[in-house]
Amino acid sequence: MKNSAGRSELDTMIVEIELTLVSIIQGVALTVLIESAREIVSHREIIFWPYVLSGLFTIFIFWSRAVLHIITVIRWPLEFGHNFLYIACALVEALLFAQVARPQSWFWYGAVFIAIGWVLFVYDLRLIHARIRDSAGPASNRLCEMVRRDQWRNIAVLLPGVFVLNAACAMSILRWPEFFLAHNAHIWLVTAQLAAFGGYLLYVVRFYLKLAPFIADARAEWREKL
């Protein structure tokens, strides 16, 4: 009984650490975005406002994916590599938000940000496999399988697609700067990015709604197994 209570307390502590870390790093990223947005608004550069909205979508996506991950697979012990990659993502995210008025740099940093997120998804397969090994019942098994399929969908399709989109936008500006910069045609590129981010955010919300009925039951099964 002591071991059970101790493991449950450690699980709760790890969840709190992860939530605190995600909140802090996204708060820092939001601060950079706010500062960039203030410059855009003060100079009335309407052409760059979609970049600010795209940055806001990026924060929504990062935070929602991180929280979804925390409530489904995070348990004791603390995984340092996973958290280090979170911090690396946040660093590049902050650098990305500093490029709001520089379209080419915006898309290059966007591609780097997605690439690190891609590595994070691959790395986190080990956490999902750990939950599969210690799953204790039908709700837990179902939850782990849904999370595993989503993880592979992101690794094989969704993140590569968004990475290619950002890299292609950056290379297009590099190849045809006169068209995309002098004539402000980059607005179509950021519109495509916004559409991709909006679609992905909708996917995350719908995935959460699908998972929600299994999360509480799965965690109850984990506690019962202790």
pLDDT at 216: 81
Ranges 1-5, 47-51, 67-71, 106-110: which has the least confidence: 1-5
Tell me which residue of 179, 160, 156, 201 sits closest to 55, measured CA to CA: 201
In terms of Cβ atoms closer than 10 Å to its own Cβ (0-12, 13-18, 19+), residue 181 is middle
Average pLDDT, the chain: 90
pLDDT digits (tens, 9 = 90+) for 133-143: 876 678 888 88
Contact 196, 165 (CB under 8 A): yes
Does pLDDT of 53 surpass 60? Answer: yes
Query: How confident is the model over 3-22, as pLDDT tens digits?
Result: 555 667 887 888 899 999 99
Domain assignments of the chain as residue spans, ordered by start: 2-225
Q: What's the confidence (pLDDT) of residue 88?
A: 96
Contacts of 183 (CB under 8 A, 6+ apart): none
In SS3 terms, the chain reads as: CHHHHHHHHHHHHHHHHHHHHHHHHHHHHHHHHHHHHHHHHHCCCHHHHHHHHHHHHHHHHHHHHHHHHHHHHCCCCCCHHHHHHHHHHHHHHHHHHCCCCCHHHHHHHHHHHHHHHHHHHHHCHHHHHHHHHCCCCHHHHHHHHHHHHHHHHHHHHHHHHHHHHHHHHHHHHHHCHHHHHHCCCHHHHHHHHHHHHHHHHHHHHHHHHHHHHHHHHHHHHHHHHC
Interatomic CA distance for residues 175 and 169, integer angstroms: 10
Per-residue tokens: 110:
């966007």
Share of the chain above pLDDT 90, in %: 67
Q: What is the pLDDT of residues 80-121, one digit of tens each?
A: 989 999 999 999 999 999 999 999 999 999 999 999 999 999
pLDDT band for position 125 (cuts 50, 70, 90): very high
Query: 166 and 114 in contact (C-beta within 8 Å)?
Result: yes
Nearest to 75 by CA among 145, 6, 1, 175: 6
What local confidence, expressed as pLDDT, does residue 4 receive? 57
203 half-sphere exposure, CB direction, 13 A CA radius: 14
Comparison of pLDDT for 101 and 219, the residue scoring more: 101
CA distance 82 to 84: 6
Mean pLDDT calculated for residue range 142-152:
93
| pLDDT at residue 1, as a whole number | 46
Structure tokens at 73: 């697979």
To the question of pTM greater than 0.85 for the whole model, the response is yes
What was the pLDDT predicted at 3? 55
Confidence of residue 217 (pLDDT cuts 50, 70, 90): confident
Q: What is the pLDDT of residues 172-208, one digit of tens each?
A: 999 999 999 988 999 999 999 999 999 999 999 999 9
Rg of the chain in Å (alpha carbons): 20
- CA 55 to CA 51: how far, in whole Å? 6
